[in-house]
């Protein structure tokens, strides 16, 4: 089954806000189950999957710092929020029939495994989804950067970023009806045009390691599985426009 896939091992980045559903704070179990069902369909194709989930639905370090909190402390709080989300997603994936493990960059052995690269690779080779929590374990780094780092460490074929829209736009399509959508972009395009799909450190890390980035909509059922086959609607970010 995996032979039909364009990408056989991937990292999927899910924002914390994606877990909100219709709520203004916290985790909506129904929404997490829906996301897990899509990931399960992708895993059933034979793809080896790891994930990074953000924590913005609970606490965002940058926002805390903006309100006067010491930045490193705020970032550590945000990292702990990602652990909560990772545990929720792990539970939902298991209910969807996919074995999963959470590995945290901040050791907390009574809650989840510590991040150990060979162990994470072994889990994926056995068909388990691995969810990386607590970012890089260091303040001042976003979960996008953590996701790019883990994708490179795991030897992933691609980094898939799940967003609220079906690709990268020149501006927010929800507020700008004239926003231009891009099917393909280079890493340099993202940096030069200051497109806000992810931070510069994450893009630079992907560029330096020739890691393709696919940006797709979390709200389109089946979009993830389609992207793994090179089908569907998404924006591909590479060093050039040849995605074949």
CATH code, 214: 3.40.1160.10
Residues 172, 179: contact at Cβ < 8 Å? yes
For all residues of the chain together, what is the average pLDDT? 94
Assessment of whether the complete model's pTM goes beyond 0.75: yes
pLDDT digits (tens, 9 = 90+) for 124-182: 999 999 999 999 999 999 999 999 999 999 999 999 999 989 999 999 998 999 999 99
Residues 39, 47: contact at Cβ < 8 Å? no
Whether 73 maps to a domain, the answer reads: yes
Whether 199 maps to a domain, the answer reads: no
Whether 239 maps to a domain, the answer reads: no
Whether 243 maps to a domain, the answer reads: no
For residue 122, is it left (φ>0), alpha (ψ between -120 and 50) or beta? alpha
Q: What is the pLDDT along the chain (244 residues), one digit of tens a residue?
A: 445 899 999 999 999 999 999 999 999 999 999 999 999 999 999 999 999 999 999 998 888 888 899 999 999 999 999 999 999 999 999 999 999 999 999 999 999 999 999 999 999 999 999 999 999 999 999 999 999 999 999 999 999 999 989 999 999 998 999 999 999 999 999 999 999 899 999 999 999 999 999 999 988 889 999 999 999 999 999 987 544 4
Helix (H, G, I), strand (E, B) or coil at 133: strand
Whether 70 maps to a domain, the answer reads: yes
Whether 195 maps to a domain, the answer reads: no
Domain count, the chain: 1
Distance, CA of 69 to CA of 137 (rounded, Å): 19
Q: Provide the residue range defining the domain that includes 159.
A: 2-174+210-233
Whether 167 maps to a domain, the answer reads: yes
Cβ neighbours, 10 Å, residue 242: 8
Residues facing residue 14 across a β-bridge: 53, 162
Helices then strands (H, E): number in the chain? 8, 11
Distance, CA of 177 to CA of 223 (rounded, Å): 23
Q: How many residues can be counted in the chain?
A: 244
Whether 60 maps to a domain, the answer reads: yes
């Amino acid at each position: 089954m995996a032979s039909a896939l364009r990408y056989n091992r991937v990292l999927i980045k899910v924002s914390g806000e994606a877990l909100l559903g219709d709520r203004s704070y916290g985790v909506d179990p129904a929404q997490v189950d829906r996301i897990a069902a899509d990931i399960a369909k992708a895993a059933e194709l034979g793809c080896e999957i790891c994930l990074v989930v953000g924590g913005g639905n609970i606490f965002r370090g940058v926002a805390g710092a903006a309100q006067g909190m010491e930045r490193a402390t705020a970032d550590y709080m945000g990292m702990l929020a990602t652990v909560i989300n990772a545990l929720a997603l792990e539970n939902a994936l298991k209910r969807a029939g996919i074995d999963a493990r959470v590995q945290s960059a901040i050791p907390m052995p009574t809650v989840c495994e510590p991040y150990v690269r060979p162990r994470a690779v072994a889990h994926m080779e056995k068909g388990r989804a691995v969810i990386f929590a607590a970012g890089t374990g260091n303040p001042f780094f976003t979960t996008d950067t953590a996701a790019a780092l883990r994708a490179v460490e795991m030897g992933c074929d691609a980094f898939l970023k799940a967003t609220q829209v079906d690709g990268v736009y020149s501006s927010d399509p929800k507020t700008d009806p004239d926003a231009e959508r891009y099917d393909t972009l280079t890493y340099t395009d993202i940096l030069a045009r200051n497109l806000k799909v992810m931070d510069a450190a994450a893009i630079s890390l992907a560029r330096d390691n020739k890691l393709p980035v696919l940006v797709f909509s979390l709200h389109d059922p089946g979009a993830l599985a389609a992207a793994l086959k090179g089908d569907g609607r998404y924006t591909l970010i590479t060093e050039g426009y040849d995605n074949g």
